[in-house]
């Protein structure tokens, strides 16, 4: 990414597997409610979002299965690594997301976790799961592109 969207943005974690498993329809940015030891772990890059997903409970959106490793210096005041964390978005965005998830049968998948200034943000993608043949097509396209690049640069 480039331009204004990237200014002051420090990537913490990325869900690269999601781009292969899902077809993205739209992306959203959400804040996350964290405790102090979680922020320290995020700053150290000790987090995994590959198995996580976002889900509505009542009016609010939560992220589940996001693993934030314990911060060793926090000792007894440490957090639960797999705790359910609340996501912060505008009410209009939440209502639109809920409607699209219900009507189209889509999933809400975390794509990237990053800091914007002092705030931790999560990029969520409204996504549809790919079928096996779609994954095969994507792999074949990637192989063809790799071969073309090799031929263009004179390597074998």
Per-residue pLDDT of the chain (156 residues; tens, 9 = 90+): 444 555 678 888 888 887 877 888 888 999 998 877 788 888 888 788 888 888 898 889 899 888 787 777 766 666 666 788 889 999 999 998 888 888 777 888 899 889 888 888 999 988 887 777 667 777 788 888 888 888 888 765
Q: Please, is 140 exposed, middle or buried when counting C-beta atoms within 10 Å of its C-beta (0-12, 13-18, 19+)? A: exposed
Q: What number of CA atoms fall less than 13 Å from residue 66's CA on the CB side?
A: 33
pLDDT of residue 3: 47
The answer to whether the Cα torsion of 71, 72, 75, 80 is positive or negative is: positive
Q: Is 105 left (phi over 0), alpha (psi -120 to 50) or beta?
A: left
pTM for this structure? Answer: 0.70
Domain ranges (residues) in the chain: 7-129
CA distance linking residue 13 with residue 5, whole number of Å? 17
**Cβ neighbours of residue 35 closer than 8 Å, sequence gap 6 or more:** 79
Architecture of domain 7-129: Beta Barrel (2.40)
């Amino acid at each position: 990414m480039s331009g204004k969207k990237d200014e002051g943005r420090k990537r913490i974690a990325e869900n690269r597997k999601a781009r292969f498993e899902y077809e993205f329809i739209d992306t959203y940015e959400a804040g996350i409610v964290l405790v102090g030891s979680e922020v320290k772990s995020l700053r150290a890059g000790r987090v995994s979002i590959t198995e996580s997903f976002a889900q509505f409970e009542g009016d609010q959106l939560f992220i589940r299965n996001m693993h934030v490793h314990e911060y060793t210096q926090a000792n007894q005041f440490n957090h639960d690594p797999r705790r359910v964390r609340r996501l912060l978005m505008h009410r209009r965005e939440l209502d639109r997301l809920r409607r699209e998830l219900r009507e189209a049968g889509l999933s809400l998948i975390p794509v990237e976790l990053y800091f914007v200034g002092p705030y931790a943000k999560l990029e969520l993608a409204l996504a549809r799961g790919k079928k096996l043949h779609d994954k095969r097509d994507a792999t074949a396209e990637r192989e063809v592109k790799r071969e073309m690049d090799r031929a263009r640069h004179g390597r074998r």
